[in-house]
Amino acid sequence: MERNPMRRQLAIMRQSLFDQGHVDEQFVQLEELQDDANPNFVEEVVTLYYRDSARIILNIEQALERKPFDFRKLDAYMHQFKGSSSSIGAKKVKAESTLFREYCKSGNGEGCMRSFQQLKKEYATLRKKLGAYFQLARQAGPVETASRPK
């Protein structure tokens, strides 16, 4: 169905996002909301997510610099982060957030720090992959119902 090689590549890239567990079903929901009236919806939401989540990550980092840890606050931040991550379907990031919160609840500072490092890594990876994906999507052009010669 992908006549266009770019589109094909895009499809492959998209599939790998799912296969590698970076995004989940929720991402599909986002895609389904994209239509002619909202042609760049997915990218818009994800961009908004980056902005907001970057702020939260910064807050968490700062909170982790203060000893002793304020677990309640850390948990609150992470709850927020998890909420928005799950909204865009960021699967791995969400899983790591859950782990972080577990550590917070049990007061495990060491665990929190480790988990947070891992979370940041996953987050960075996701951003990179999605970034590449959207870039390609833009290049590939809007999806045409009928193939058109370029």
Q: Which residues pair with 120 in a beta bridge?
A: none
The distance between the two most distant Cα atoms of the chain, rounded to a whole number of Å, is: 63
Q: Is residue 88 within 8 Å of residue 110, measured between CB atoms?
A: no
Residue 32 touching other proteins (CB under 8 A): yes
CA-to-CA dists, residue 39 to 26, 57, 85, 144, angstroms: 18, 29, 21, 12
Q: Give CA–CA dist 69/115, Å, rounded.
A: 14
Closest CA to 115 of 76, 74, 80: 74
Identified binder of other proteins from the candidate list 15, 44, 61, 132, rule CB under 8 A: 44
Position among 82, 93, 100, 122 found at the interface with other proteins (CB under 8 A): 82
Given the complex with other proteins, which of 7 and 77 has the nearer CB atom? 77
Tokens coding 129: 């992959």
Could you say whether residue 59 binds other proteins (CB under 8 A)? no
Contact flag: residue 77 with other proteins (CB under 8 A): no
Instruction: Look up residue 98 and give its two tokens.
Output: 């859950």
Task: Select 7 or 94, whichever has its Cβ closest to other proteins.
Answer: 94
Pick 30 or 63: Cβ nearer other proteins: 30
In the bound state with other proteins, the residue whose beta carbon lies nearer, of 7 and 53, is 53
Site for other proteins in 105-144 (CB under 8 A): none
Question: Can you read off the two tokens belonging to residue 51?
Answer: 């902005």
Task: Kindly list the residues in this chain that would bind other proteins in the complex (CB under 8 A).
Answer: 26, 29-30, 32-33, 38, 41, 44-45, 48-49, 51-53, 76, 79-80, 82-84, 86-89
